[in-house]
Chain A
Amino acid sequence: MPQQIKRLVTVFAVFIVMFLILRQVLKPASFGELGHYRTMAIQENKDRELHYAGSDRCTKCHEDMATDKSLGFHAQLKCEVCHGPGLKHVLYADKFKDSELPDSLKLTKPDQRKDCAICHDLNAARVKIVFDTINNSVIRQVKTMKHNLVDKRNNEKIICIDCHNPHQP
């Protein structure tokens, strides 16, 4: 074999061995088990914190409100749609009395006109939406920022929930 070929072969061999060693050291654990990624990353994504509890958890303590709601048009709405994520509340609230419940564990009580307007404000895109195919119920709409702004008896400003019970609208 000519001299120059021998040298080239040695150089290549050294490079390949170095590459294999470096690859072993630098390749992250669990890379390439299922594909071109770290399999561990799936578990890392699964380990994140939850915020929404699911309405079954609400019903366990607030049974009265749940039955109230199940009789009205808002029956198919989950509690957390309006009241916000409640897993912290579910996990820690029973350690406190109602009056001592810290603010961080309280859920939101949406009582402003804009909170109802999110679903019920008059909009051309909402006109024909049938949310309940069994009863053919169409979503009720109103110009929420103009509808009965003041109580005519005493001229005081009123909000939606003064007249409509949100659990049984």
Chain B
Amino acid sequence: MTEPKSKISRRNFFKAGTIIVGGVAVASAFTPFDSFLFASEPPKGKGKWYGIGIDINKCIGCGKCANACKLENNVPMDPFYFRSWVEQYTIKKDGTIKVESPNGGIDGFTQSIPDEEIFKSFFVPKMCNHCAKSPCTQVCPVGATFETPEGIVLVDDNYCIGCRYCVQACPYGCRFINPEKGTAEKCTLCIHRLEKGMQPACFEICPTEARIFGDLNDPDSKLNYFLKNHTTMVIKPHLNTGSKLFYNALTSEVR
């Protein structure tokens, strides 16, 4: 028994196929699929493109930045909610590394290891890296977190469902769930201050000017001056997050 011959001819089949495929292609030229837009490169050379510089050599670990952040943004004062915090890295002579951050550094640091055992010790202030290809925005199932055209990663707390995916996805541990609102919260780069021509609170308050804030697209900005004159590095470069937080004197122990 032979297969029954299809009623549609080869010519008509190709005609219909071409119309469907061509139609989709033409339609997508007018409104490209969002997924294509999302995977595109960050906008460069037009408008502002904010970045951050931190000089580890200058940080004295006073924790004023962590405190200022909490006061400016009404972050809960409990010792486990931080948008910005300071860690002390101590490398002992036996090669072990101790990382400590008592209350995010807000109450100051007391040296817990005697001088004789220390090979070296330094402070690392941490905060949101405002990644250009941020892992946290990519996992949001409802579109409640996003990168603004200026390169700031924000949370829409009226739209967030509190599913915690983004908290898991951030490789730098910069997000948490606000215990009162039940929504994700993170550093906004004090966008409400930027709007009024002020610096973000932690940059405003740093006593040694270890924190530098600026526009990466502006060749004369303080940040570009800092990047030109120091050997800077981002944390976890292998993750290709497009981090815009550049550290001077970052060592491989920091992660």
One of B110, B111, B121, B205 near A78 (C-beta < 8 A) = B205
A36 CB–B CB distance under 8 Å: yes
Other-chain contact of B111, A45, A123, A131, A139 (Cβ < 8 Å): A123
Note all chain B residues with C-beta closer than 8 A to A124. 90, 111, 113, 115, 118, 120-121
Q: Give min CB distance, B49 to chain A, whole Å.
A: 15
Known: A117-B108, A118-B63. A131 touches B58 (CB 8 A): yes
Among B111, B144, B146, B159, the residue within 8 A (CB) of A122 is B111
| A59 at the binding interface (Cβ < 8 Å) | no
How many chain B residues touch the partner (CB < 8 A)? Answer: 55
Tell me whether A47 and B159 are in contact in the complex, defined as CB-CB below 8 angstroms, given that A118-B62, A119-B207 are known contacts: no
Known: A37-B146, A121-B110. A85 touches B71 (CB 8 A): yes
Distance from A34 Cβ to chain B, minimum over Cβ atoms (Å): 6
Which of chain B's residues 10-29 have a Cβ closer than 8 Å to chain A? none
**CB atoms of B61 and A54 under 8 A apart:** no
Q: Chain A residues in contact with chain B, CB under 8 A? A: 28, 31-32, 34-38, 41-42, 44-52, 54, 76-78, 80-81, 84-85, 114, 117-119, 121-126, 129-131, 139
Between-chain CB contacts (< 8 Å), 18 pairs: A37-B144, A37-B159, A42-B191, A47-B192, A48-B73, A50-B72, A52-B68, A52-B72, A54-B198, A76-B207, A85-B68, A85-B71, A118-B64, A119-B207, A123-B61, A123-B111, A125-B88, A129-B58
Which A-B residue pairs are the 4 nearest by beta carbons?
Answer: A41-B156, A37-B146, A125-B121, A118-B108
Which chain B residues have a beta carbon within 8 Å of chain A's beta carbons?
34, 37-38, 57-64, 68, 71-74, 88, 90, 107-111, 113, 115, 118, 120-123, 143-149, 154, 156, 158-159, 188, 191-193, 195-196, 198-199, 201, 204-205, 207-209
